[in-house]
Each structure stands twice: as structure tokens, then as C-alpha cells.
Chains A and B, each alone.
Chain A
């Protein structure tokens, strides 16, 4: 199944957090096959921009056009959306069940991120990097064209970084797009990465 092509268009976007205007007049576009690396100082509004695109937050003004429709995006926030008292597999199967997907995709996804052996461990007992891998497995268990990843490299070790680069590369090559925030540079070897620095 190939991914639905899309052409994301952000026009004159302004986002506010509480009383503070984070940024105004932001124009941006992203189409399938592209990866955008979003940088900026703490508090510049990277996370808020991603949250706005994901639909968790309303823009103060401006438009977001051309988001891929139904089941169009995966959001991976600072937090992994993993319940500590459930096992890795139970967490993943819950998200598949909630979104009406088959649970048969869970095994290949966990194998791909290298934690299939840990599948019956409670998330509570995993390291930060292992949790991040489990969160990435959620993106793989159900294919969606647009990935919005907030600091996905947090806690990943060197192999983890390489794995992440591979996953992102495969996603883009398969017709997906991604917007990634990160303080560190994205791992080398990724092609088609654009950089954008948010500044006040």
C-alpha cells in the first residue's frame, strides 16, 4: 500500500502560548519525500508549531493547508504515550486497536526497532532509549504519510541514532514526509533534509 501524496502549505502562521506570541508570519511548505529539520533556541516555539500542525493547538492566525487526510499523520511528542504499567507489546496493541489497525503489524515493527525481545517487559523497567524505540515502533505499526516528531533523538544511543536515520530515510523514500525538531544535528547520511531555524 503506497502512501497518500500530500503538499503541506503553511501560510502566515502565528502561534501564541498563553499571553506570549511565539512567532508570527511563518510561511512553510513540505511535500511527500521531504524531511524538514526544525531548529531554534529553547522557547522559540518548535514544539508549539508541531502541536499546531498536529491539531492539538489552534493557531492565533494564519492557515495550515494540505494536511494529508484521514489517518494522515503520526505525532510523537516529548512524551512517549506509553503506559508504564503495561508491557511494550500491550501498549503497541492498544494503539493499533484504538486506531482500528490489525495487531499483526506489531511484531515486524518491534523487530525493526530492535526490541522484540523486550516485548513482554513492562515499560516501567525499560531505559529511556528503549522507551523511545518503543515509541518509534508505534509509527511503524501503522503507515501514515506525515510524521511530526518532537525531539525524537532524546535518549537514543549511537545505534539508536543510526536506526532512526534509516527509518526516516525509508519513510521519505517510501513517499512520506516528516518535520523533526532536534537540538542535535540529524544523523549523517539522510538525503533531502531541509533546515529551518525558528528565531524570535
Chain B
């Protein structure tokens, strides 16, 4: 637990030092969403129908931007070697690192989603499902994305490959996340897709740290 805490404080401290690293993806998210608003006809009701997909795809894309750097600095300065050899299990330290990644890139998206959804004229009835869905789904984005980043950490040009690896694995999250909002808008029960997202989240929290740790070790062989 000390090890996890040490990683968390280090990551947050680093984030305070280089704010652009996590502010830019947020800005990107806001701009993508607002561009859809600008591109549509003024007050087009169709926009509201697409709002859940736009917000979810925006979240996915802005998360993709941050993935390439997730482990790269630690790989290049030798920190990753030391983490592999440390007393604390690598799965735990990787889990802590991915949690920090979510705190910096996922959590702000959850907080920004509601005002942006209003900007896209999403009816208020859909807001709780949207925010809950993102709260359950963005950690999955961080964890699965982290796994893909770990697979490609030793590759010089991983940036182009990452979307191909990440997007298929995350398709169900997108489907159920946007589906929850659509169900809520139609007056249906949004609980089923949200429960499904929660199940995926717990599954990711348990399994992904191990898989990512194995992928990172592979980078040294």
C-alpha cells in the first residue's frame, strides 16, 4: 500500500509540474464537442440525439492522446526497470499509475460532461445516465488504454498503433455508455447498461493490472 501511495503522490506531483500534459487533452475534449455544435445547424434537434455518442467518442479520443506518454517517460529514464525489480508487485504499482491517470484525465471529463451536454442541448433527463456512465466508463478507458500503452512501450512509433489496439477493446463501453443515455432519454430504465459498465469496470480493475504488468516486463526482454 505504501508503494501505491508513493506512486500516486509522485504522479500527482508531476502533474502539478507539467500542467499542460493533462490540461491539453481536456481542452481537446471540450473543443471536439463544441465543434460538433458549431458544425450543426443552430438549434438542430438532431444534435441532441447524437450528444451521447459525441461526448463518449470525445472522451475516448482525448484519452487516446494521453496514452502514448503514459509509460514512455518512465521507460526512457529507467524508472520502469526499477519498478519491475521493486519489492512491491508490479501489478500494484501499475494499478496505482493507472488510477492516477484516471484522476488526471478521466475524472475531469466526468465533471465537464454535464455542462457540455447542456451545450449540445441534451435534455436534462439524460444527464444522470451520462454522468454515471462516464464515471463508470472512464476508469475502464484508462485501464484498458494503459494495457495497450504497456504493450507498445518499447516501440518507437506506438502512437499510430494504439487506436487500433484500444478501440476494439473499448467498443462495448462506448455502446453501453451511449446506450444508457439513449435509454434514459426514451424514458426507459438506464440501469441495465450501467450495471453492465460497472461489471466491466470491476473486471478491468481486477485483471488489467496483471496483464499490463506482464506486458511491461515483456518490454525488457
Report A-B touching, CB under 8 Å.
yes
> Which positions in A face B, CB cutoff 8 Å?
51, 54-58, 70-71, 73, 75, 77-86, 90, 94-95, 97-100
Asked if B81 and A81 sit within 8 Å, CB to CB, the answer is yes
Which of the four size classes fits the interface of chain B? 20 to 34
Closest B residue to A71 by beta carbon equals B87
Question: Given A51-B220, A80-B78, A100-B2, do A75 and B14 touch, yes or no (CB 8 Å)?
Answer: no
Asked if B2 and A81 sit within 8 Å, CB to CB, the answer is no
Q: Which of B80-100 contact A (CB under 8 A)?
A: 81-88, 93
Question: Given A80-B78, A81-B78, A82-B77, do A94 and B10 touch, yes or no (CB 8 Å)?
Answer: yes
- The reply to whether the CB of B76 lies closer than 8 angstroms to some CB of chain A is yes
Q: Least Cβ distance of A119 to chain B in Å?
A: 15
* Bound Cα distance A86, B10 (Å): 9
* Bound Cα distance A20, B78 (Å): 24
Q: Which of B1-41 contact A (CB under 8 A)?
A: 2-3, 5-7, 9-10, 13-14, 17-18
| Cβ contacts under 8 Å, A97 to chain B | 2-3, 5-6, 9
Asked if B87 and A90 sit within 8 Å, CB to CB, the answer is no
* Bound Cα distance A106, B217 (Å): 29
A contacts with B: majority SS: loop
B contacts with A: majority SS: helix
| Cβ contacts under 8 Å, A84 to chain B | 77
* Bound Cα distance A100, B2 (Å): 6
Asked if B85 and A55 sit within 8 Å, CB to CB, the answer is yes
| Cβ contacts under 8 Å, A70 to chain B | 87
Which of B76, B82, B88, B217 has the most C-beta atoms of chain A within 10 angstroms of its own C-beta?
B82
Question: Given A97-B5, A98-B86, do A78 and B221 touch, yes or no (CB 8 Å)?
Answer: no
* Bound Cα distance A100, B82 (Å): 14
- The reply to whether the CB of B192 lies closer than 8 angstroms to some CB of chain A is no
| Cβ contacts under 8 Å, A79 to chain B | 76-78, 81
| Cβ contacts under 8 Å, A86 to chain B | 10, 13-14, 17
A-B contact pairs, 10 of them (CB 8 A): A56-B84, A56-B217, A73-B85, A77-B78, A79-B77, A81-B79, A84-B77, A95-B82, A97-B3, A99-B87
Question: Given A70-B87, A94-B6, do A78 and B78 touch, yes or no (CB 8 Å)?
Answer: yes
| Cβ contacts under 8 Å, A54 to chain B | 85
Q: Which of B32-88 contact A (CB under 8 A)?
A: 73-74, 76-79, 81-88
Top 3 A-B pairs, shortest CB-CB distance: A79-B78, A97-B6, A81-B78
Q: Least Cβ distance of B67 to chain A in Å?
A: 19
Asked if B81 and A98 sit within 8 Å, CB to CB, the answer is no
